[in-house]
Structure formats: structure tokens, C-alpha cells
């Protein structure tokens, strides 16, 4: 299991700080719901790709009660994706709003397909958040409108706040 945390830094700064990032203290286990401080359980390393490829540490915590582990992911990453949230949304914006394909053609189409498969869940996130407007019936127009709403809300904010609306993240199957 993982939780998102906004470290307020870029990927480059996060990588430079490494294990010295300001990791949050978690006082309730999301697994057993016990009100107990989770202990550091080491780090694992993963890639974060923007213009450059970064190798960054991800902090793991362990519940002393149920022995389950938890990872703290920065909001600029999505679980199971190497490209950062900025890259993913740049590709979606370029393809769906600007109508241009930037970079790898297949990667842009892959992100669009995943995004289109999650339109209902994304709409439900905004409905739960208080949006009462009318969305277009056409899937492409609806996707464009929802993408604009995500960009207006803020990418990191959307990733952090939408956690409960999707099984893993808004791009996972």
C-alpha cells in the first residue's frame, strides 16, 4: 500500500535531498486503523523520468501492530509509472487539447487510452468535490473538459485528493 505526500519540491530537488527529504510522520496505520506511529522500514529506489531520468528513494514504513508496510510516494509520481505526473499530463494536454503529439507517439496514445477508460471515475471525483455542471455526452469532448478541470485544480492536488476514487491511481487499470 502507498500514500501520496506533497514534498513541495521538484524531482531534481527530491533526488538531491535523497534520504534526507522531509518525510511525514504517520500516526495511524491505514491497514489495521491502529492509532500507533509507523516506524521507518527502509527505502527502495525507483526511476522518475522527465527530461532526464532520476533515481529517487521511496520511504517505507511498517506498522508495529499488524506488521504491514506502507510506502510514501511523492505527488509528482504515480504508482507503477516511471514517467512523472507532469510528463503524463503534458502528453495528455498536447494530444487532447492542442491536438499535437509530442515525443513518443505510442506513449501519448497509451496515456489517452488509459485516461478515456477512467472518465466515469474522474467525473465522480469532481461530482463528489461539488461540481454540478453539465458535461458533454461525446466522450472526447467530455475527456477534454475533465482534463481542463484537472489542470485548473492542479496536477499534484488531483493526484493526492483522488486517491480514494481509484483502486491505485487514475491511470491504472
Calculate mean pLDDT across residues 133-144: 93
The last residue of a domain, from among 37, 52, 74: 74
Domain annotation covers residue 172: no
Percent of the chain with pLDDT over 90: 77
Indicate the number of domains in the chain: 2
Domain annotation covers residue 171: no
**Domain limits at 63?**
2-74
49-82 residue pLDDT tens: 998 999 999 999 999 999 999 999 999 999 889 9
> Of 94 and 103, which is predicted with more confidence?
94
Pairing of strands 53-62, 2-5: unpaired
What is the CB-side half-sphere exposure of residue 105 using CA atoms within 13 A?
0
User: Is the four-CA dihedral 131, 136, 138, 140 of positive or negative sign?
Assistant: negative
**pTM metric for this prediction:** 0.86
> Of 29 and 161, which is predicted with more confidence?
29
pLDDT over 80 (residue 103) = no
> Of 14 and 1, which is predicted with more confidence?
14
State whether 61 and 93 are in the same domain: no
Cell numbers 494536454: residue: 93
Q: Where are the alpha helices (DSSP H) in the chain?
A: 11-17, 85-96, 105-117, 119-128, 139-153, 155-161
CA–CA distance, 90 with 95 (Å, rounded to integer): 8
pLDDT over 80 (residue 167) = no
Amino acid at each position: 500500500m502507498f500514500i501520496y505526500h506533497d514534498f513541495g519540491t521538484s524531482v531534481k530537488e527530491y533526488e538531491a535531498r535523497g534520504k534526507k527529504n522531509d518525510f511525514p510522520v504517520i500516526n495511524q496505520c491505514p491497514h489495521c486503523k491502529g492509532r500507533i506511529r509507523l516506524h521507518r522500514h527502509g527505502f527502495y529506489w525507483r526511476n522518475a523520468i522527465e527530461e532526464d531520468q532520476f533515481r529517487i528513494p521511496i520511504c517505507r514504513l511498517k506498522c508495529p501492530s499488524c506488521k504491514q508496510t506502507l510506502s510514501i510516494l511523492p505527488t509528482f509520481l504515480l504508482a507503477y509509472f516511471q514517467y512523472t505526473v507532469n510528463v503524463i499530463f503534458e502528453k495528455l494536454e498536447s494530444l487532447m487539447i492542442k491536438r499535437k503529439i509530442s515525443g513518443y507517439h505510442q506513449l501519448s496514445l497509451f496515456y489517452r487510452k488509459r485516461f478515456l477508460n477512467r472518465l466515469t471515475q474522474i467525473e465522480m471525483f469532481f461530482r463528489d468535490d461539488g461540481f454540478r455542471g453539465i458535461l458533454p455526452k461525446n466522450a472526447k469532448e467530455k475527456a477534454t473538459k475533465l482534463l481542463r478541470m484537472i489542470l485548473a485544480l492542479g496536477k499534484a492536488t488531483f493526484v493526492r485528493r483522488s486517491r480514494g476514487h481509484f483502486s491505485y491511481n487514475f491511470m491504472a487499470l
